[in-house]
Structure formats: structure tokens, C-alpha cells
A and B are shown apart, each in its own frame.
Chain A
Amino acid sequence: MKEKDVYVEFKPHQLVLYVEKDDDSYGPVQTGSFMAKNYLDDYFEKFEKWEKSLREQLKKGEISPVYYYMILQSFGEGDLASRVGVSKRKLKQHFKMEYFEKLKLSQIKKYADAFDIPVASLFQLMMSKHDEKEKISIKQMETQNPYFVISKVEMA
């Protein structure tokens, strides 16, 4: 790839590519990500559609929060099962509310840790009205108690 063809203006996502320079030598250049610059909107659009569809299923109790977060965070079932220390068969059971509701709190905590979220987020989704999205931020602050989190709503 020629150096002149490689540059993409996209500051938030930089990377290094190896290119053919004018003097025929090959070497590294830093540039913006071609994918992020051109296709990020499409990525977010798909992600929002999935989130909405999974949320509807979650609201009806058709899936558990374990399944919701596993799909959104693109976990492989084997990887997630290993992270929380259960068999794949057990993990699949935990996709259903009838099994999820019987889980011990300590087990739920392991799922929360794997998803890097507070335990509370396995029981609630906090949302704001679409037009207020930019104005409000919700910070979930950890406490020394691993099962207890304080959520602070802040206006930008």
C-alpha cells in the first residue's frame, strides 16, 4: 500500500500501518482508523438495535440479564463460563430467568465481575430520554461493600 493512500483523518482512533514510501522503502505511519471513520455509525446503529431487542426480551422475562450482557459484550460461551467458574451447560441454564432467579448472590457477583458492572446493574437498566442523553450522566460509584453501589445522576 502506498503511503499517500493510507492517511485517514480520525483522531479518536489512531493506529500504525506499514506502507510503501516514495523511495520504495517500507515503514510505519500513524493514521486514523479507516473502519472507525467510515463505519462507526453503522456499528452503533446495529448495536442499538440489538440492545433494544434484547431489552424487550429481558422485560418479558424471556431471557436473563446474563444473556443480555453476554451478547452485548460479545462473549463466547466457553470464555464466559470459564470466567465465572460454571460449566457451559449451567451457563446456558442461566440464560433463562427460571434458573437465574435461583442463583446465589455470590454467583451473581461473579457474573457482574465478568461483565465489569455493579451487581445492581443485573437487576435494573438506567436510561434517560433520548433528547436528554447528552445532558445527563449517571455514575455508578463502587463502595467497600462489593454488593452495594451508589448511583449519582449528574447534569452536564
Chain B
Amino acid sequence: MKEINFEHKMGAHCESGTVTALLNHKGLEISEPMVFGISGNIFFGYMESSNFSFPTFIVRNKPGSIRKNFGKYTGVKFHTKSFKSKEKGEAYLNNLINNDIPTAAQVDFYYMDYLPEWQRVHINVHFVTLIGKNETDYLVSDSYFPKKAKIDINRMTKARFVNGFMAPKGFLFYPEYIPGNIDLNKAIIKGIKKSAYNMIKIPIPFLGIKGMRKFARKVVDWPKITRDIDHLSHEIMKITLLLEDQGTGGAGYRYLFATFLQEASEKLNDGSFKDMSKRMMEIGDNWRNISYFAAKIGKNRDLGPERLKELSNMINDRADEEQIFFTDLYKLVK
């Protein structure tokens, strides 16, 4: 097996974990929360689309935006490439591995069969790093798996070239240039500004704080659009999965963002960001309470109108808190 000398680390999230590991490999010492925060990725959105099996919510910005925004704010250049042809896409990746370049690939998460089956869903925006290969398998560094894993070459190629919503089209990337004099302080401020803008000012009715309020309004009507009580229970418990288990670092990225603010406070030598990080940690704990509550009522099938109203009120309370929090944060960086 050809194997690139690459340090595998688990990460909270697949894209921030992948970007961080690749930057570390290329010589830039930076943490995952810092990559996540600088790229302005804390977010909220309530989505109703036929591309999802049920209305859902997102707690981070668009897939791909961690790499893009981090590059934009720090001057790091990423080499990126998509493909129309599977054969060319596979050959290109193999060539990079042969040249000792660890490379991130966008894949359908469902095909990552080293992970347990209950964890895998069809979603075309998972990111892994390819770090080796032999005749039959690739060696993969996946932020969601404790160690390096093998995956069949044909399976990986399928995962890179499935069609559908946000089809990966064989997308690959790796950092090719890291400036010697990155102004991290400036990048931190830009990232915070973007996050705060997205949460309180973005003029789209289902995004940011407005998205949270929409979620709170809509969740009480979920019984009308579910097949039966088990389906409703499944969708309510998915709230917990989306907040805690699907690569968020806990509490829908709120703990990751609090950690970023704490690091930012040290870098900027400004105690006000430390206060904000404590507030964000508490907000995270309140989101975590939603996770516990949703899991409990879902499992007990305790899903009557009063319980759902209670859940809706908890979400609205988070919207109130985050409205104040991000308004205060915006004032600090304006």
C-alpha cells in the first residue's frame, strides 16, 4: 500500500476537520475552531425542499464555504478540480496520491462503509482526505472515524460521481499555497462579521434568526406531514441527530463557535470576546437541552400538541438569545 505520511485526527465536522488537517500537513498550525470561525460558518436555516425527505434545518453555512471563505480571508490558495469523466477523475486523484499530495474529495456519505450503517445517509457533501492506495483500495482519513480506513476504489469512485442534489462531480481540493504572513487577526474579525451578518441581517426569511423562528412555527405542524406516530418520532429525534451527531462538535456547532471565540480573544488580546465565548457556551448548553428534550419525547412517543408547543417555545427562546448575542457580537467588530 502506497501511504502518504499524514497525521490522521478526528474532527468535529467533516469539512472544517478536512481543511484543518490539510493545512496542518502543509505546515500551517491552526485549530479546527479557528478554521470554522474564520470562515464565518456558524449559521441557521430552515429548509423545505424536495431534495430532502422531510423539512430540515441547517446549523452551518453552505458546504464548500469553509474552504472558500478561509482562503478568501487568509490568502491561502486551494487547488480545486471537478470532472465530467469518472476515468479522468480517478486517474487525477491517483496521480496526486502517487505524488504524495493528500487530497480532499467530496463524496456521498452513504458509501463510506467503514462507518456504522445507522450513521450513513445519502448526502453529497461529505469531505474525506485520500492519503494512500493499493490495487484495490484507497486509504482514507475521515474526520468522523477514529483511525485511517480502507475503502474499495470502485466504491470511492461511485461516491465521488453520484448524481443528485449538490452532486460532487469528482470534486477534489488541496492547499497549494500558504502565505508566510497571514494576518489572522484581520481574518478573525472578517469571519465574525460574516457570521453575525448571516445570523441577524441576511434578508432571507428562512435563514439566520428568522430561520429559527420559522422552525419554531413549523415544528408544531409536523404531525400533519408525517405518515404516523413513528415517523413523527423519527423526525423529532432527527433534531437531536442534526444538532449533536452529524459532525457539529455538539449543540449545532455552538460549542465549536464558543471555542473559536475563546481562541480569538487570546489572539486579539481582547477580553470582550472571551465574555462572548462564555455566553455562546451557555447558548450551546440550551441547544443541548433541546436535543435531550427532543430525544426523550420522540422515544416516548410523547408528541401531543402541548409537547410540540413546548419544543417550539424552546427554539424561540434560542432565537431570542441568539438575536441579542449576534447583535452584540456585530457591534464588537463593526
Least Cβ distance of A87 to chain B in Å? 11
Bound together, the chains give a CA A19 to CA B255 distance in angstroms of: 7
Establish whether residues B262 and A26, one from each chain, have CB atoms under 8 Å apart when the complex forms. Answer: yes
Establish whether residues A13 and B119, one from each chain, have CB atoms under 8 Å apart when the complex forms. Answer: yes
A1: interface (CB < 8 Å): yes
Mask of B230-260 contacts with A, CB within 8 angstroms, 1/0: 1101100100110011010111000110110
Q: Which residues on B sit within 8 Å (CB–CB) of A44? A: 118
Main DSSP-derived SS at the B contact region:
helix
Task: Tell me which residues from 1 to 59 in chain A have a Cβ below 8 Å from any Cβ of chain B.
Answer: 1, 6, 12-20, 25-28, 30, 33-36, 38-40, 42-44, 46, 49-50
Contact of B53 among A15, A20, A42, A76 (CB under 8 A): A76
Q: Which residue of B lies closest to A81 (CB)?
A: B50
B12: interface (CB < 8 Å): yes
Least Cβ distance of A145 to chain B in Å? 15
Least Cβ distance of A58 to chain B in Å? 16
Bound together, the chains give a CA A79 to CA B162 distance in angstroms of: 11
Q: Which residues on B sit within 8 Å (CB–CB) of A26? A: 33, 255, 258-259, 262, 277, 281
Q: Which residues on A sit within 8 Å (CB–CB) of B259? A: 18, 26-28
Establish whether residues B118 and A79, one from each chain, have CB atoms under 8 Å apart when the complex forms. Answer: no
Q: Which residues on B sit within 8 Å (CB–CB) of A88? A: 50
Task: Tell me which residues from 101 to 153 in chain B have a Cβ below 8 Å from any Cβ of chain A.
Answer: 110-111, 116, 118-119, 121-122, 143-146
Least Cβ distance of B288 to chain A in Å? 6
Establish whether residues B258 and A18, one from each chain, have CB atoms under 8 Å apart when the complex forms. Answer: yes
Mask of A77-91 contacts with B, CB within 8 angstroms, 1/0: 111101111001000
Least Cβ distance of B165 to chain A in Å? 4
Chain B interface residue number, banded: 35 or more
Establish whether residues B164 and A80, one from each chain, have CB atoms under 8 Å apart when the complex forms. Answer: yes
Contact of A114 among B52, B162, B262, B298 (CB under 8 A): B162
A143: interface (CB < 8 Å): no
Known contacts A25-B262, A33-B245; is-contact A82 B122 (Cβ 8 Å) = no
Chain A interface residue number, banded: 35 or more
Establish whether residues B12 and A18, one from each chain, have CB atoms under 8 Å apart when the complex forms. Answer: yes
Establish whether residues B118 and A40, one from each chain, have CB atoms under 8 Å apart when the complex forms. Answer: yes
Establish whether residues B51 and A1, one from each chain, have CB atoms under 8 Å apart when the complex forms. Answer: no
Establish whether residues B245 and A16, one from each chain, have CB atoms under 8 Å apart when the complex forms. Answer: no
Q: Which residue of A lies closest to B145 (CB)?
A: A14
Chain A residues in the interface with B (C-beta under 8 A): 1, 6, 12-20, 25-28, 30, 33-36, 38-40, 42-44, 46, 49-50, 71, 73-80, 82-85, 88, 113-114, 116
14 additional A-B pairs beyond A28-B259, A35-B240, A36-B119, beta carbons within 8 Å, are: A1-B250, A15-B12, A16-B11, A17-B12, A26-B33, A26-B277, A35-B237, A38-B295, A42-B299, A74-B53, A82-B51, A83-B163, A83-B164, A116-B158
Chain B residues in the interface with A (C-beta under 8 A): 10-12, 17, 32-33, 49-53, 110-111, 116, 118-119, 121-122, 143-146, 158, 162-165, 167, 230-231, 233-234, 237, 240-241, 244-245, 247, 249-251, 255-256, 258-259, 262, 277, 281, 284-285, 288, 295, 298-299
Interchain residue pairs with CB less than 8 A apart (10)? A1-B288, A15-B247, A16-B249, A18-B33, A19-B250, A27-B259, A50-B231, A76-B52, A79-B122, A82-B165
